[in-house]
Chain A
Amino acid sequence: SQQGEEDPQALSIQEGENATMNCSYKTSINNLQWYRQNSGRGLVHLILIRSNEREKHSGRLRVTLDTSKKSSSLLITASRAADTASYFCAPTAVTGNQFYFGTGTSLTVIP
């Protein structure tokens, strides 16, 4: 399966700090998406970056994509306690429209 590997597995920061999480994947992609999941709930789509894009912003989120290294990063600036959640990357393989979630990063923002 086309699964992403995320790093770190867990991250704990103080409110107001920035949080960075990384995703690496194995094959050529069409796009890569990031999702957030609050504990025991459904996932929420955060941002999609296409394979021909290098950087994308959405509010406090900044996503980068390096297709030569097969990696992406998600930066959350000025973190808030409400950002506490698990974050998953989801690379979409060129060969199909379905995608598989990465292993996830558990983010804890301490007030």
Chain B
Amino acid sequence: DTEVTQTPKHLVMGMTNKKSLKCEQHMGHRAMYWYKQKAKKPPELMFVYSYEKLSINESVPSRFSPECPNSSLLNLHLHALQPEDSALYLCASSQGFVRLPYNEQFFGPGTRLTVL
């Protein structure tokens, strides 16, 4: 299974709502990533988990809260978002996050988030 799944595909939420994005992979990968992508822009790295521990937080506002319950699952909890947070949120996984020369990432299809 070389698939990364993300749910939901689409999400519309108000600025006072609390919601969560979910990501799952069963490739035995030990690194998982969250990216945010605005229209016609490259994906921007938000968080990296390595062996279920948060390794990188790219100065993301605290209204985004990542969680890695186990090696196959990655969540992104959303609270008090702003309209400018509307974007495509992509999850990815890779074999590892140590000094490996090979770090191909496998991406999910993304969650299209709209904040009203």
Residues of A within 8 A of B (CB): 3, 30-31, 33, 40-45, 48, 50, 88, 92, 97-104, 106
Contacts and interface: CB of A to CB of B under 8 A. Distances in A.
B100 interface: yes
Contacts, number: 55
Contact of B107 (A42, A97, A99): A42
Interface residues of B, number: 28
Tell me if B's interface is mostly helix, strand, loop or mixed: loop
B103 A100 contact: no
Given A45-B105, A92-B103, A98 B112 contact: no
Nearest to B110: A42
B106 A45 contact: yes
A98 B97 contact: yes
A40 B112 contact: yes
B109 A41 contact: yes
Contacts of A50: 101
Interface string B56-96: 10000000000000000000000000000000101010001
A42 B88 CA distance: 9
Contacts of A40: 88, 110, 112
Contacts of B92: 42-43
